[in-house]
Amino acid sequence: MTELEPILAGFYPDPSICRVGDTYYLITSSFEYLPGIPIHSSNDLVTWTPIGNVLTRPSQIAEHAGYPSAGIFAPTIRHHDGEFWVIGTDVNGIPLGQGHFLLRAADPAGPWSDPVYITGAIGIDPDIAWDDDGTAHVTWCSLNPGQPGILSAPIDTATGEFLAPPRELWQGTGLSFPEGPHLYRIDGWWYLLLAEGGTERGHAATIARSRTLDGPFESAPQNPFLSHRSLPHPVQNTGHADLIQLPDDTWAAVHLGVRPRGQSPGFHVNGRESFLVGIDWVDGWPVVDEGRFSIPPTNGSFKDRFDAPDLDPRWLGVGRFPASFTRHEVGGGLIIDAAAGEGRALLVARSTDLVWSATTTFDASSGTGRLLVRIDDRHWYGLTYDGTSVEATLTIGPVEHTVGRWDAPAPIAPTLRIRAKKPRPLPHGISLEPDRVELSVLADGAEHIFGEFDGRYLSTEVAGGFTGRVFGIEAVSGQIRVHGVRYDANAEDDSAE
């Protein structure tokens, strides 16, 4: 059994990849968080560097209520005719009939164009591919009750209008939820790759081919060609893959997966992550080689004292762009304004490690602030500081409970700390929980620990949805001035600065 490490750890699902020369570019879903669609680059497929986000301004995507697991679904990135293209779905726009959106850029780091909407394609998980004549074809998972399934249509990329009516392609092998289509033109064939089985334990990648887009599509004899379903593998839910050809004419694929821990059914807390496998072509079909690439463990540690006027792209808002409720403080620090956020003054970043510590110190003389770790609005643990005391709170579904209170020795601003710690194994070696989340406060060299709490309640298996844990700072009321944030990977016994 291979111990696979992700190439992008943490909440980076639905990877899509393209290559220009020796450089690869990868994007992932972002759901309710803004800016949207993070983009990374790599020269070796193994180590990846964030270069920004695709959706960075309200003219590309409107700020919204931040409903859990809404927003941006499964975008695709491609390079064609000297330009980068991204096509995706904003599910918040589906009731408005906006369908998918298409953007382009000369530089993948941006800026990206405003969207062109493909109004006739109502659904999710769109792909774009060009035929030998240069015509663009959009393929998607249709949500139209009158024409469900995997559809494809040629489009005018300048207007988003169909050039011909949508046609049905291959609908998969019969597993549930055929989605995530990617269409490729390879050696005279059209290959159609799908995700099937749902994005849970039955997830799989399947593929079919046809000489023409009119079909019929022939299913690969070894389908699904990628899946860990019913296997005792530490990485589960594998699927939603995208193929890439390397400069030496070998192939690879990126795909999503999760790393569940704890007792059955297993709980994954950092969300769906991005993984890499090798691909061999055997008799015209892709065969996965999971051991081809050696992926080093990632370490997401960082310190941010907000010295620069612009925020690092790691920082996100829930349905709102951080620029709408934060501002840089001259001399360092960051103001988070609850009134400007209109109830969404929450600045977060992805937790990318299995064991980690996050600390912050902020001035609460003009408001109340909170350090928290969350899956969504109904599943979070946090520490709230109002200038005089700190309260530790657990929110699990409809239940919100304060587990302790600590009075601050004025005028010292305490350091708030959240730690995700290893689970405690039982005598038979299995742990009940995926991890333990510790809430504590430090001041004058002393530490007050409110307790360690079961991490399964901040997992996707409990909360539902498609995202993973993020941590961050919220202005609950008024304004707070954040002095800095420190995130330490593998910090089981660290002490805060």
List pLDDT tens digits, range 19-72: 999 999 999 999 999 999 999 999 999 999 999 999 999 999 999 999 999 999
Question: Does any domain span residue 494?
Answer: no
Question: Does any domain span residue 255?
Answer: yes
Same domain, 239 and 307: no
Active site residue 447: no
Classify burial at 464, counting beta carbons within 10 Å of its beta carbon; exposed 0-12, middle 13-18, buried 19 or more. Answer: middle
Percentage of the chain lying above the pLDDT 70 cut: 98
Q: Report, as an integer, the average pLDDT of 149-165.
A: 96
The CA distances from residue 186 to 21, 130, 212, 312, 352, in Å, are 18, 12, 12, 39, 35
pLDDT at 494: 42
Q: What is the C-alpha to C-alpha distance for residues 45 and 25, in angstroms, rounded to an integer?
A: 9
Same domain, 222 and 366: no
Active site residue 249: no
Helix segments in 327-375, DSSP class H: 338-341
Q: Report, as an integer, the average pLDDT of 300-323.
A: 96
Please give the residue range of the domain that contains residue 41.
16-289
Same domain, 312 and 172: no
Same domain, 368 and 434: yes
Mean confidence (pLDDT) of the chain: 95
Q: Which of 228, 257, 289 is the last residue of a domain?
A: 289
Question: Does any domain span residue 328?
Answer: yes
In this structure, what DSSP letter does residue 445 have?
Answer: T
- Decide if pLDDT at 497 tops 70: no
Q: How many domains does the chain have?
A: 2
The CA distances from residue 222 to 218, 219, 278, 286, 439, in Å, are 12, 9, 16, 9, 48
Question: Does any domain span residue 389?
Answer: yes
Q: What is the C-alpha to C-alpha distance for residues 345 and 321, in angstroms, rounded to an integer?
A: 10
Q: Catalytic one among 5, 90, 125, 179?
A: 179
pLDDT at 353: 96
Q: Catalytic one among 5, 14, 196, 273?
A: 14
The string of pLDDT tens digits covering residues 423-451 is 998 888 789 999 999 999 999 889 999 99
Sequence length of the chain is 497
Question: Does any domain span residue 7?
Answer: no
Same domain, 176 and 221: yes
The string of pLDDT tens digits covering residues 222-254 is 999 999 999 999 999 999 999 999 999 999 999
pLDDT at 445: 85
Task: Classify the C-alpha dihedral 156-159-163-166 as positive or negative.
Answer: positive
pLDDT at 2: 43
Q: Which of 289, 317, 347 is the last residue of a domain?
A: 289
Q: Report, as an integer, the average pLDDT of 2-27.
A: 93
Backbone angles phi, psi at 441, to 5 degrees: -135, 145
pLDDT at 410: 74
